[in-house]
Amino acid sequence: MIKLLFFGRLGDFATGLSTSIDAVDGLTPAAVRDGLAAGHPQLVYELSQPQVLISLNQMIVDWDHPIVDGAELAFLPPVTGG
């Protein structure tokens, strides 16, 4: 299982979405994003914005980084703390 997290405004577009997906061979963050396209086109549009970062197990990675079973994948819009 891969745990999915959507932070900030991305969370509003992910309402009702399952918080985990099955792990498959060759899975990448880009593939996870593209797999959401059918049911959540607006979310995929938001995830495709260049400012969106992704983390795997709380480390920033690229969209083509391999995902292993048990990982936590988070989608991070630009931060606004402080």
Partner 1 sequence: MISTIRIQTQDFDLAAEYQLLRQLKASVGAVVTFSGLVRDLEQQQSINSLTLQHYAGMTESLLQGIVDQAEMRWDLIGITVIHRVGKLLPSDQIVFVGVASQHRSDAFEAAQFVMDYLKTKATFWKKVDQNGQQYWVESKSSDQAARDRWSTDD
Residues in contact with partner 1 by the rule CB under 8 A: 5, 7-9, 11-12, 51, 55, 58, 74, 76-82
Nearer to partner 1, 15 or 80 (CB): 80
- Least distance between partner 1 and beta carbon 76 (Å): 6
Nearer to partner 1, 21 or 52 (CB): 52
Contact of 2 with 32, CB cutoff 8 Å: yes
Angstrom CA distances, 31 to 25, 75, 79, 80, 82, stand at 11, 13, 24, 27, 33
What's the angle, vertex CA 65, arms to CA 35 and CA 16, rounded to 5? 35
- Least distance between partner 1 and beta carbon 43 (Å): 14
